[in-house]
Amino acid sequence: MKIRRPFKLPGRNGWYIDIGRKRRSLQTTDPAEAIKLYNEICRRIAQDQATPPELLGDATSLTVSGFAKRYLAWAKPVRPAATYRAEDFCLKKLKDHTDDARIITLTPEHLDTLASSVVATGRSPNTANHLIRHLKAIFQKAESWKLVAQNPFRKVKLVVVDRTPPVRLAPEDFAKLLSAITDKDVAELVRAYLATGRRRNELVNLDWADIDLNGGRYFIRKSKDHLSRWYPIPKAFRAILDAKQTRVGPVFKWQSPDAVTHVVKAALRSAGFGHLHLHSLRHSFGSAYVEANGDVRTLMDLLGHRQISTTQIYSKPSEKHLAKEIERVALPPSGA
């Protein structure tokens, strides 16, 4: 596996590396610390690729918690921080659900019933599928390490998700939300999400080095380069950018995704939309675009979806839109 030595991105202080085709932040601005982390990552990857199966220990007695300890020690330096936290969470859920069973005794039923229990407690099928995806990938590593003869979750299917339109703001509610926000920075952030339809981290990570005002476009960077691309700057977002005095470094002052989630949720709650969350702004953009007669295939490109089936969720009209459209069929007055 090819690993690129630590490097910097334009306008950013931290150090990065590329592992294969995936970019990783080393979470440090110290060049010596970056080299130290790079060397440790190289050592762990080389050890993973070179260690004979017989040196990995006796797998017959290895429990979920024992495997989790081994797996997470490997994963921490090579996985993105968010992925590492998610995998840690999923392994803890599996440990509790199976009473810390030995991993050689795990079957598809264990993951199926875990996913079912998650939905039964009121969580969404998407949350259950989050567990399924991560645990399937984690135990693929257990198989490659020869700790299990075969990934026990290989054939587990995702929970069927009802493809109803997501909960979102109606276009006529945009003004109500924005007028209720008194903090200028928060108002600009919310307006940017509504104007672009971007995912949370796509705006959190947006840097002035990724903004081309002359060309009227901005660049969204992905860990896989072939998914990175330019997007047009809409007028509402352009007004925000033009008003900013500082044009070096991050576009928005929040660098923590959790902090952005918190301030947007507070804004939604204060405006009377407490049932919504930050990602609802992306859904609001998608639904408003379609209701304004936008093309679903074009929306797919604007939102950065890889499959048209993901975008088609917005093609189902809202109840308000249906109520308006039903009046297209006019009948003569009764008694005429």
Closest CA to 93 of 120, 124, 132, 59: 132
Residue 69 phi, psi dihedral angles, 5° rounding? -60, -45
Among the listed residues 199, 218, 231, 283, the single catalytic one is 199
Q: How far apart are CA 275 and CA 109, in angstroms?
A: 34
44 catalytically annotated: no
Q: How far apart are CA 286 and CA 277, in angstroms?
A: 15
- Residue 121 is given by DSSP the state T
279 catalytically annotated: yes
305 catalytically annotated: yes
Write out the H or E segment, with its range, that includes residue 259.
Answer: helix 257-270
Write out the H or E segment, with its range, that includes residue 16.
Answer: strand 16-19
Among the listed residues 70, 136, 305, 321, the single catalytic one is 305
CA distances from 165 to 168, 310, 312, 315, 321 (A): 9, 11, 9, 8, 13
Among the listed residues 12, 269, 279, 321, the single catalytic one is 279
Residue 289's CB: how many other CB atoms inside 10 A? 20
Q: How far apart are CA 91 and CA 138, in angstroms?
A: 9
Quick check: 102 and 63 in contact, CB under 8 A? yes
Among the listed residues 23, 168, 200, 282, the single catalytic one is 282
Closest CA to 13 of 31, 36, 37, 29: 29
Among the listed residues 43, 146, 224, 297, the single catalytic one is 224
Long-range contacts, stretch 133-137, CB < 8 angstroms, 24+ apart:
133/158, 134/86, 134/87, 134/90, 135/90, 135/91, 135/94, 135/111, 136/111
Query: Tokens 């995998």 correspond to what residue?
Result: 87
- Which residues are annotated as catalytic? 199, 224, 279, 282, 305, 314
